[in-house]
């Protein structure tokens, strides 16, 4: 039996987050301007008082202990404002790094790096992508880490690293194993502190979307020496651990996009042409939400989820673009102006089809999984949702 009932405890959290965003965050968004940092401090204090801080972390880390399904529901409400995830301390890339440190970090790494993140005292970044290779295919990454006595020396360049400027530390993906190792077992994760002289933020890359704290940066690692304690997980586990981080992170992105797409609504349905646009957007939102919730349920249930996450990443990111485009069209010149948030949503929506794996790469993976399922089982059902 397929049950779409939201557990009462999760519905309660979702409703409280929705009210917090409506009452606390949206009024700040309209007046924040260049004073974002001070406004965020106030919002974070309010989130703590409301009992909504760290929804993604377990109680022993001052969190609500929500699973993937719970976070999908919360992320939907947070998508209404770019400030909202920061207010609850569950923004990218910090949220994914917290999950990764919980999953693979040593006790010392958790206290040294996770604790200040959980308390909202620092920011972090995840340094994986590179400019001159197809970074959506991680087996092509060129940054290396060579053993040096008891430590390692990292060399390479990273590109579009969100939040790098001012980050207290980075989790860096680097190649440690030779070409004789299987491609997905050649990479390793390292925790590199922002104060390391070998870690250099070259610049913040100008982007057409909303600026985020720490920007999207070009980074250089030049003879960046770290000790053995910087190793996160075991050598060769970098790709595997990155997938532990990226699966739930992609779902969180998708649910926030749904929240953004829902932030429109006026009594325009009486106009037939507009009604059709609203109907198309409603259908896409419905399909997007079901995709994300099914993916969250699969992760929480311990089932294979990579194909379903790829479905959601492609479909929701592209649906977001179509829905925002329709809303802007309905509003005409007002939607194109800076007087409404639509022009910002429009710019931000375009990036959704690129980060966390571009649509083309996910489509290639989806097609490959369909072919494999048919060859192995004589049916594509297992790679098409596996629903009876």
Same domain for 83 and 153: no
Q: 272-300 and 238-261 are packed helices; what angle lies between their axes, rounded to 10 degrees?
A: 150
Contact, 171 vs 100, CB < 8 A? yes
113 is a domain residue: no
Same domain for 269 and 211: no
118 is a domain residue: no
Same domain for 129 and 208: yes
Domain end residue (candidates: 232, 247, 265): 232
CA 312 to chain centre: 13
Rounded distance between C-alpha atoms, residue 321 and residue 162, angstroms: 21
Nearest to 319 by CA among 241, 223, 253: 253
Same domain for 243 and 372: yes
Same domain for 379 and 243: yes
Q: For position 1, what pLDDT does the model report?
A: 45
Task: Return the CATH number at 61.
Answer: 1.10.540.10
Q: For position 356, what pLDDT does the model report?
A: 83
List the Cα angle 233/235/238 in 5-degree steps: 65
Beta strands in the chain (DSSP E): 124-127, 144-148, 151-162, 169-175, 187-193, 199-204, 216-226, 231-232
Same domain for 371 and 251: yes
Rounded distance between C-alpha atoms, residue 247 and residue 243, angstroms: 6
Task: Return the CATH number at 226.
Answer: 2.40.110.10
116 is a domain residue: no
Residue 185 belongs to domain spanning: 124-232
Same domain for 152 and 201: yes
104 is a domain residue: no
Same domain for 220 and 255: no
Same domain for 248 and 218: no
Domain end residue (candidates: 187, 206, 232): 232
Same domain for 351 and 300: yes
Tell me the backbone φ, ψ of residue 128, rounded to 5 degrees.
Answer: -120, -55
Rounded distance between C-alpha atoms, residue 291 and residue 251, angstroms: 9
Q: What are the pLDDT tens digits along the chain (388 aa)? A: 457 788 999 999 999 999 999 999 998 876 755 566 778 889 999 999 999 999 999 999 999 999 888 998 998 899 888 889 999 999 989 999 999 999 999 999 999 999 999 999 999 999 999 987 755 566 789 999 999 999 999 999 999 899 999 999 999 999 999 889 998 899 999 999 999 999 999 999 988 776 788 999 999 999 999 999 999 999 999 988 987 777 676 767 666 767 776 765 555 555 667 888 888 998 999 999 899 888 888 888 888 899 999 999 999 999 999 999 998 888 877 787 777 888 888 988 898 898 888 899 899 999 999 999 999 988 998 899 887 5
Same domain for 77 and 128: no
Rounded distance between C-alpha atoms, residue 295 and residue 289, angstroms: 10
Task: Return the CATH number at 379.
Answer: 1.20.140.10
**pTM as predicted:** 0.79
Nearest to 295 by CA among 124, 136, 104, 75: 75
Contact, 24 vs 77, CB < 8 A? no
Count of domains in the chain? 3
CA dist 208 → 76, 125, 212, 343 (Å): 24, 20, 12, 11
Q: For position 277, what pLDDT does the model report?
A: 87
Same domain for 141 and 249: no
Domain end residue (candidates: 232, 256, 285): 232
The two tokens of residue 240 are 């595997």
């Amino acid at each position: 039996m397929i049950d779409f009932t939201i557990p009462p405890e999760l519905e309660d959290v979702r409703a409280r987050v929705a009210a917090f965003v409506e009452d606390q965050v949206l009024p700040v968004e309209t007046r924040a301007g260049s004073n974002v940092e001070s406004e965020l401090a106030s919002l974070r204090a309010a989130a703590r008082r409301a009992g909504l801080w760290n929804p993604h972390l377990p109680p022993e880390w001052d969190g609500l202990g929500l699973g993937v399904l719970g976070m999908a529901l919360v992320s939907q409400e947070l998508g209404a404002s770019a400030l909202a995830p920061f207010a609850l301390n569950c923004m990218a890339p910090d949220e994914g790094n917290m999950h990764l440190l919980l999953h693979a970090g040593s006790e010392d790494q958790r206290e040294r790096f996770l604790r200040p993140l959980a308390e909202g005292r620092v920011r972090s970044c995840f340094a994986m992508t590179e400019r001159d290779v197809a970074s959506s295919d991680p087996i092509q990454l060129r940054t290396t880490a060579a053993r040096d006595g008891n430590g390692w020396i990292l060399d390479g360049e990273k590109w579009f690293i969100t939040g790098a400027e001012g980050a207290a530390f980075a989790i860096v993906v680097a190649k440690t194993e030779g070409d004789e190792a299987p491609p997905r077992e050649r990479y390793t994760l390292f925790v590199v502190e922002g104060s390391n002289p070998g870690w250099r933020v070259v610049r913040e890359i100008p982007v057409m979307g909303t600026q985020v704290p720490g920007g999207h940066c070009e980074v250089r690692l030049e003879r960046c020496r770290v000790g053995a304690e910087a190793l996160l997980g075991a050598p060769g586990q970098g790709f595997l651990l990155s997938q532990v981080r990226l699966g739930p992170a992609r779902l969180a992105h998708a649910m926030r996009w749904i929240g953004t797409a829902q932030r429109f609504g006026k009594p325009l349905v009486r106009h037939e042409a507009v009604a059709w646009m609203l109907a198309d957007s409603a259908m896409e939102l419905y399909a997007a939400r079901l995709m994300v919730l099914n993916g969250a349920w699969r992760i929480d249930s311990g089932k294979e989820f990579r194909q379903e996450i790829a479905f959601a990443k492609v479909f929701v990111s592209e649906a977001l673009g179509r829905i925002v485009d329709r809303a802007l069209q309905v509003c005409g010149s007002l939607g194109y102006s800076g007087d409404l948030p639509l022009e910002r949503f429009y710019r931000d929506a375009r990036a959704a089809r690129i980060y966390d794996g571009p649509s083309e790469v996910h489509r290639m993976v989806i097609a490959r999984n369909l072919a494999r399922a048919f060859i192995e089982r004589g049916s594509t059902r297992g790679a098409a949702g596996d629903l009876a």
